[in-house]
Chains A and B, each alone.
Chain A
Amino acid sequence: MMRTLLVILMFLSPLTATAECLTRGTGDLGIVIERASGSIKVLDTSRHEVLFRVEGLGDLSHASAVYSRDGRYAFLFGRDGGLSKVDILCGTIVKRLVQGGNSIGGAISQDGSLVAVSNYEPGGVKIFSAEDLSPVADIPATPLETGEKLSKTVGLVDAPGQRFAVSLYDTGESWIIDMQDPKAPVIRRFTDIGRLPYDALITPDGRYYITGLFGQDGLSLLDLWYPEKGPRLILENYGKGEEKLPVYKMPHLEGWAIAGHRAFLPAVGRHEVLVVDMSNWSQVARIPVHGQPVFVMARPDGRQIWINYAFPDNDTIQVIDTESLQIVKTFKPGKGALHMEFTPRGEEVWISIRDKDEIQVYDTQTLEQTHSLPAEKPSGIFFTSRAHRTGL
Chain B
Amino acid sequence: MRLKRSLPNLLLIAFTIIVSGLAIADITPERQAELIYLLRHDCGSCHGMRLEGGLGPALKPERFRHWSTETLAMTILYGRSGTPMPPWGPFITEPEALWLAGQLKKGIQP
Contacts and interface: CB of A to CB of B under 8 A. Distances in A.
Interface size on A, as a range, is 20 to 34
Contact of A248 (B1, B42, B50): B42
Interface stretch (A85-93, A201-209, A239-247, A255-263): A239-247
A35 interface: yes
Contact of A250 (B42, B52, B55): B55
A52 interface: no
Interface in A307-357: 310-312, 336, 354
B45 A169 contact: no
B62 to A, nearest CB: 15
Give chain A's interface secondary structure class. loop
A62 to B, nearest CB: 6
B45 A120 contact: no
A274 interface: no
Contacts of B95: none
A250 B46 contact: yes
Contacts of B107: none
A272 interface: no
A80 B49 CA distance: 10
B75 to A, nearest CB: 13
Contacts of B44: 61
Interface string A96-117: 0000001010000000000000
A61 B50 contact: yes
Nearest to A335: B41
A244 B2 CA distance: 9
A248 B86 contact: yes
A35 B44 CA distance: 11
Contacts of A121: 53
B54 A104 contact: yes
Contacts of A36: 40, 49
Nearest to B40: A36
Given A59-B48, A59-B50, A311-B45, A244 B55 contact: no
Question: Which of A102, A196, A248 has the most chain B CB atoms closer than 10 A to its own CB?
Answer: A248
A198 interface: yes
A215 to B, nearest CB: 9
Contact of B48 (A61, A269, A336): A61
Interface in B70-110: 79, 84, 86-87, 90-91
A79 B40 CA distance: 14
B48 A62 contact: yes
Nearest to A214: B84
Contacts of A354: 41
B109 to A, nearest CB: 12
A195 B55 CA distance: 14
Contacts of B84: 196, 198, 214, 247, 250
Contact of A244 (B1, B45, B54): B1
Nearest to B58: A102
A152 interface: yes
Contacts of A247: 84, 86
Interface in B24-57: 40-42, 44-46, 48-50, 52-55
Contacts of A61: 44, 48-50, 54
6 contacts: A59-B48, A102-B48, A152-B55, A198-B55, A246-B86, A269-B1
Interface of A: 35-36, 59, 61-62, 79-80, 102, 104, 120-121, 152, 154, 169, 196, 198, 214, 243-244, 246-250, 269, 310-312, 336, 354, 377
The 9 closest A-B pairs by CB, nearest first: A246-B86, A61-B49, A249-B45, A244-B1, A311-B42, A79-B48, A61-B48, A59-B50, A102-B53
